[in-house]
């Protein structure tokens, strides 16, 4: 069991290392998205721009990919911090290791004022599956410029990702994205 955990951790670190570079390149795009960040969510407290606009890239819909199996889930601004969420399909590799995990969920946070990555704090994810069942909170681990965790998205349909954060500045923020798996 220990070996499996170590292999999983090492695998996660290896697949997410390129995300640091990706997150850094997104900093340059933050200014472009800032003009569109004018909508509020259902509670009127958070701004967002590219709120969950992607779909599974393999389906040929309007999904956006960064490297074939990496999907941009969306970006959203909450209280001056932009969160950019991605999913990486890891189902084949995990199945080869006898695991049911299908994706690695990751999110990078950027201070909109300074443009700096926020790499410390606490982040938790709750996933609502297509059957409207809400899963238990999943703590996201800080990893090279983003926070992430392995998740299982094994049903077709729309998933909702709700995140609660308390980043380095001590301010609590909430983020919400959605993604369709076909």
Residue-range domain boundaries for the chain: 2-181
Cβ(99)–Cβ(91) below 8 Å: no
pLDDT in tens, 115-151: 999 999 999 999 999 999 999 999 999 998 999 999 9
The terminus-to-terminus CA distance of the chain in angstroms comes to: 32
Assigned CATH for 2-181: 2.60.40.1220
Would you say residue 97 has pLDDT above 70? yes
Query: CA–CA separation, 154 vs 133, rounded Å?
Result: 13
**Greater confidence, 70 or 69?**
70
Structure confidence at residue 137 (pLDDT): 98
Structure confidence at residue 69 (pLDDT): 80
Query: CA–CA separation, 52 vs 177, rounded Å?
Result: 5
Would you say residue 101 has pLDDT above 50? yes
Structure confidence at residue 104 (pLDDT): 96
- Residue among 127, 128, 114, 125 at smallest CA distance from 168: 114
User: % helix / strand / coil in the chain, to the nearest 5?
Assistant: 25, 45, 35
Rounded mean pLDDT, 28-49: 35
Structure confidence at residue 40 (pLDDT): 34
Vertex 96 angle, CA 143 and 70, to 5°? 45
pTM of the model as a whole: 0.66
DSSP for 105-117, please give it: EEEEEEETTT--E
């Amino acid at each position: 069991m220990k070996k499996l955990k170590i292999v999983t951790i090492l695998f996660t670190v290896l697949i997410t290392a390129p995300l640091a570079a990706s997150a850094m390149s997104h900093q340059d795009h933050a200014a472009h998205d800032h003009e569109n960040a004018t909508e509020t969510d259902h509670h009127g407290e958070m701004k967002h721009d590219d709120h969950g606009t992607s779909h599974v890239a393999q389906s040929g819909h309007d999904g956006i990919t960064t490297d074939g199996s990496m999907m941009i889930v969306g970006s959203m601004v909450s209280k001056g911090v932009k969160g950019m969420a991605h999913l990486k399909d890891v189902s084949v590799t995990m199945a080869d290791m006898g695991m049911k995990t299908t994706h690695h969920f990751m999110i990078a946070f950027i201070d909109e004022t300074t443009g700096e990555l926020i790499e410390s704090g606490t982040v938790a994810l709750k996933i609502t599956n297509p059957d409207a069942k809400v899963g238990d909170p999943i703590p996201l681990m800080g990893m090279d410029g983003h926070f992430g965790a392995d998740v299982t998205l094994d049903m077709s349909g729309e998933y909702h990702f709700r995140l609660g954060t308390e980043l380095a500045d001590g301010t609590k923020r909430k983020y919400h994205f959605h993604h369709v798996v076909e």
